C-alpha cells in the first residue's frame, strides 16, 4: 500500500515536471519584430556558453533591446555576426521563462532581415 502511494507521488511529480518544461519550451508568450542597429553579438558564459546580443532602437543607445539566440539557430547566429553595426530587423519569440542554458533574456531571435 505504501509503495503504491510513493509510486503515485513520484509519477505525479514526474508528469508535472515534464509538463512544466514542455510548456516553457513549446509555448511562446509573444512573437514580434524589432528593428534598429545591431550593436552587440557575443558568445558568453563561464560553464554554459550562450549567445547574447543587443539592438539599439534609439539615439545613442537610449533604447536597448537585449536578446538571446538558441544554439541550434546557426544561420541566425552567422547572419548576426556578419551584420554587426548595420540596421537589421529581428523577428523574435518571447518565452514565459528561460533556463540558464538557453540564455540571459526571455527574447529569442528566430529570423534576421537586413534593412537597406
| In the chain, where the domains are located | 28-114
Average of per-residue pLDDT values in the chain: 90
Whether the model clears a pTM of 0.85, i.e. scores above it, the answer is no
Position 28 scores a pLDDT of 86
Position 109 scores a pLDDT of 94
Share of the chain above pLDDT 90, in %: 59
**Domain 28-114 is in which class?**
mainly beta
Position 61 scores a pLDDT of 60
Q: Who has greater pLDDT, 111 or 101?
A: 111
Sequence-separated (6 or more) residues with CB below 8 Å from residue 71 = 50, 51
CB atoms within 10 A of CB 68: 20
Amino acid at each position: 500500500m505504501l509503495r503504491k502511494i510513493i509510486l503515485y507521488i513520484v509519477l505525479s511529480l514526474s508528469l508535472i515536471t515534464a509538463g512544466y518544461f514542455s510548456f516553457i519550451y513549446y509555448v511562446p508568450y509573444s512573437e514580434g519584430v524589432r528593428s534598429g542597429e545591431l550593436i552587440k553579438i557575443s558568445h558568453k558564459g563561464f560553464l554554459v556558453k550562450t549567445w547574447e546580443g543587443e539592438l539599439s532602437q534609439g539615439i545613442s543607445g537610449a533604447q536597448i533591446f537585449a536578446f538571446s539566440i538558441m544554439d541550434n539557430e546557426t544561420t541566425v547566429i552567422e547572419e548576426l555576426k556578419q551584420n554587426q553595426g548595420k540596421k537589421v530587423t529581428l523577428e523574435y519569440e518571447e518565452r514565459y521563462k528561460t533556463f540558464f542554458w538557453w540564455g540571459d533574456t526571455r527574447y529569442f531571435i528566430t529570423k534576421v532581415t537586413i534593412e537597406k
